Amino acid sequence: MSIPFVEAHTHLDHYDEAELADVLASYGELPCVSWAVTIDMESWAEAQKRAVNRPEILPTFGIHPWEAHRYHDRLDELDEPIAASAHLGEIGLDFVWVKEEEHWPWQIEIFDYFLVRAAAQNKIVNLHTKGAEQLTADKLRQFKVERALVHWYSGPIDAFDDLVSLGCYFSFGIELPHSEHIQTLARRCPRDRILTETDGPGAQEWLTGERASPRQIPSFVTLLAELHGVDAAEMKGQVWENYQHMMGN
């Protein structure tokens, strides 16, 4: 088997049936391994169904910060899926797109709840950090979470450097070709912490009006290679090695 590409953050449950068929086909054709994050109880159930008999797909349970207000008073319901999930995500904080400031304390409450259990159960967390980048770093340090993947980081460089110092991995994807700031971050990122993602299907739609596909990942690898002054094959191998190392393999 050739070295696979890495899809470190996707919402597999959000694809319609026709799109899903192509996504699953692409995993075999590229080939590609996929971390299918979820945002609530319903998406966790659906992602698990879509991952049946697909060893290349890792579905994980999370409560997205956009959904935290629905679960802050139901914390006991989270224990079973947290325990059942190999790792955890998508979780985190968002003080930019969530305009209702009264929801922010609920985000923190949910985030803390997951981090305590991630540390106790030695699980990797797949993180959303928008507008709360330094607080995220502080929380990882507070709860002694040792393995974290920060998806689509676009925040300040000082918080980025702090997250690097904590050993975090970073997944770069659909905004990489469009953002000089994210390209700067990608250059700054240690090569052994780089991963790739699409945040499909909706993230690309938000950015360019199109739906994201894992078939875009080779182009991200090529751009990352250019930013680091290596060839694409070397970067592809590095990303796979990074993913394996993060997973403890």
Whether 209 has a pLDDT exceeding 90, the answer reads no
Q: In this structure, what CATH number is given to the domain that contains residue 20?
A: 3.20.20.140
The percent of residues in the chain predicted with pLDDT above 90, rounded, is 95
Rounded Cα distance, 19 and 11, in Å: 12
**What does the angle CA 44 – CA 79 – CA 246 come to, to the nearest 5 degrees?**
65
Which whole number is the average pLDDT over 221-226?
A: 99
* Range of the structural domain that residue 189 is part of: 5-246
How far are the Cα atoms of 28, 59, 103, 120, 194 from residue 55, in angstroms, in the given order? 11, 10, 37, 26, 23
Q: Which residues contact 97 (CB under 8 A, 6 or more apart)?
A: 66, 130
- pLDDT bracket for residue 205 (50, 70, 90): confident
CB 77 within 8 A of CB 109: no
Q: What is the mean pLDDT of the chain?
A: 97
Residue 149, pLDDT score: 99
- pLDDT bracket for residue 116 (50, 70, 90): very high
Which residue is listed with tokens 């094959």?
Answer: 233
Rounded Cα distance, 51 and 57, in Å: 6
Residue 84, pLDDT score: 99
Q: How confident is the model over 57-94, as pLDDT tens digits? A: 999 999 999 999 999 999 999 999 999 999 999 999 99
Residue 204, pLDDT score: 78
- How does DSSP assign the chain, residue by residue? -PPPEEEEEE-GGGS-HHHHHHHHHHHHHTTEEEEE--SSHHHHHHHHHHTTT-TTEEE-B---GGGGGGTTT-GGGGHHHHHHSSSEEEEE--SSS---GGGHHHHHHHHHHHHHHHHHHT--EEEE-TT-HHHHHHHHHHHT---EEEES--S-HHHHHHHHHTT-EEEE-TTGGG-HHHHHHHHHS-GGGEEE---TTHHHHHHHSS---GGGHHHHHHHHHHHHTS-HHHHHHHHHHHHHHHTT-
How far are the Cα atoms of 31, 51, 106, 152, 191 from residue 12, in angstroms, in the given order? 16, 9, 26, 17, 27
- pLDDT bracket for residue 119 (50, 70, 90): very high
Count of domains for the chain: 1
**N residues, the chain:** 249
Whether 182 has a pLDDT exceeding 90, the answer reads yes
* 105-108 CB contacts, 8 Å cutoff, 24+ apart: 106/68, 106/69, 106/72, 107/65, 107/68
Residue 73, pLDDT score: 96
Q: How confident is the model over 122-181, as pLDDT tens digits? A: 999 999 999 999 999 999 999 999 999 999 999 999 999 999 999 999 999 999 999 999
Rounded Cα distance, 44 and 36, in Å: 9
For residue 59, say if its preceding peptide bond is cis, omega within 30 degrees of 0: no
Which whole number is the average pLDDT over 91-107?
A: 97
- pLDDT bracket for residue 230 (50, 70, 90): very high
Whether 37 has a pLDDT exceeding 90, the answer reads yes
- pLDDT bracket for residue 1 (50, 70, 90): low
- pLDDT bracket for residue 249 (50, 70, 90): confident
The percent of residues in the chain predicted with pLDDT above 70, rounded, is 100
CB 88 within 8 A of CB 61: yes
